[in-house]
Structure 1
Amino acid sequence: MDFSEAKDYIVERLIKELPKDLYYHGAHHTFDVVKSVHSLSVAEKLSNADFFVLLTAAYFHDAGYIYRYEHNEPIAVKMARKSLPDFGYSPEQIDVIENIIMATSHSIEPKTKLEMIMCDADHDYFGRHDYQKIAVSLRKELAVYEAEYSDEIWLDMQIKYLENNHRYYTETAIREKQPQKEHRIQVLKNQLDVLVNA
């Protein structure tokens, strides 16, 4: 497989074709996820072969946003299935890539180590110091594609998602990201308390 050519192909499409009002899910998000995949893959001791399959999935995972906002993962899979044979990827590798991409949808629980690393990388910022800045970009994007949220509702949504819907899967992310995520939840709860009781 020619990972470098496949990467160049999809990166060019992401930069040129993703809608400019994807303030969160723009190409910059893909590059951020790829960076997290790199560090998690090293820490989790992935083989070279698995690493490049996972990295390919990371570059493709949000490509479906080129065509639609909701349920974009199956579109990303179609794009991968159409293009990756041209870069020498085997049917088996493409099947694995499909499963990794689909694991990033909210309704699917990751099963394999590669899927778990991908999900942790996709939400790496939940346990980082730049959480607030990235959350602001998501709120701005949702105002375009879904709805505008009041400060109170937005804080409540973040708390509920972080507490009830999200979890880290790899030992590395649990060790390195979970403490900062828990701190973030407390900060958000404090902000909500101040807002409600003002």
Structure 2
Amino acid sequence: MVNPDDILSKVSANVIAFLRRELSDELHFHNIHHTLEVVRAVTEIGINENLSAAELEPVKIAAWFHDTGYFNKYIGHEDESIKLAEEFLRDHSYPADKMSIVISCIEATKYPQAPLNLLEEVLCDADLYHFSRTDYVEHEQNLRREWGVYFNKLYSDEEWARDNCQLLVSHRYFTSYGKKVLQRRKEQNIAMMQCRF
């Protein structure tokens, strides 16, 4: 059996080194900062959902790996992320039942998100935690720059504001904590952006 603290420290060290080495500087949003934020959000949401450290372990591992696939592919990066997670976890004799949780959590983050259980819901809410942050505008501007590079699309301010408003208004958090706490914070961002439909 792998010690939980040991596997998490090995995963975090491996992923941080990998992201620093492999990710393009043009990933202005999907970068190491986003990954660190998602890992922190998994902990915050998981604790508020009364999950134990053992239950949260595979979700944290999924959070570390969920965007590693961007090194190779933008659209469909989740499949690449799963391959990287599987290879690392197999090499470290991680239990197969827990590995399947890691994989299903990463799968659930594909857009549109479709979590099937609480653990997947935790990662999905953590992945879009930035919708609820007071610095949301900074995050979405980083995504705008990134999409300009990867999709060769330059949005007018009006187009970008409209698309962001549509996304924020249509999005729903899945966990109880997301619905009670993150949704309320996200609604403050909707009001700040003066979204009207």
Same fold (TM over 0.5): yes
**CA-CA distance at 1:10 after TM superposition:** 1.7
Question: Which residue identity does 1:49 align to in structure 2?
Answer: A
Which residue of structure 1 lines up, in the alignment, with residue 62 of structure 2?
A: 57
The superposition leaves residues 112-164 of structure 1 with CA deviations (integer Å, 9 ceiling, x where unpaired) of: 11110101111111112111111111111111011111111101100111122
1:172 aligns to 2:177 (yes or no): yes
1:46 aligns to 2:51 (yes or no): yes
SS, match of residue 149 in structure 2: helix
Which residue of structure 2 lines up, in the alignment, with residue 149 of structure 1?
A: 155
Question: Which residue identity does 2:125 align to in structure 1?
Answer: D
Which residue of structure 2 lines up, in the alignment, with residue 123 of structure 1?
A: 128
Structure 1 pair 161–119 and aligned structure 2 pair: CA distance change class (3 A): same
SS, match of residue 162 in structure 2: helix
Question: Which residue identity does 1:133 align to in structure 2?
Answer: E
1:160 aligns to 2:166 (yes or no): yes
**CA-CA distance at 1:188 after TM superposition:** 2.2
Q: Which runs of 4+ in 1 moved over 6 A?
A: none
- Number of corresponding residues: 191
Question: Which residue identity does 1:148 align to in structure 2?
Answer: L
Which residue of structure 2 lines up, in the alignment, with residue 84 of structure 1?
A: 89
Q: Cα RMSD over matched residues? A: 1.5
* Aligned-partner Cα distance in 1 for 2:182–2:16: 27
* Aligned-partner Cα distance in 2 for 1:17–1:50: 30
* Aligned-partner Cα distance in 1 for 2:79–2:86: 10
1:73 aligns to 2:78 (yes or no): yes
Q: 1:29 aligns with which of 9, 25, 34?
A: 34
TM-score normalised according to structure 1 size: 0.91
Structure 2 unaligned runs (5+)?
none
**CA-CA distance at 1:167 after TM superposition:** 0.9
**CA-CA distance at 1:108 after TM superposition:** 4.2
* Aligned-partner Cα distance in 2 for 1:40–1:152: 33
Question: Which residue identity does 1:73 align to in structure 2?
Answer: E
TM-score normalised according to structure 2 size: 0.92
Q: Is the 8 A contact 2:113 2:124 kept in 1?
A: no
SS, match of residue 193 in structure 2: helix
**CA-CA distance at 1:6 after TM superposition:** 2.3
Question: Which residue identity does 1:15 align to in structure 2?
Answer: R
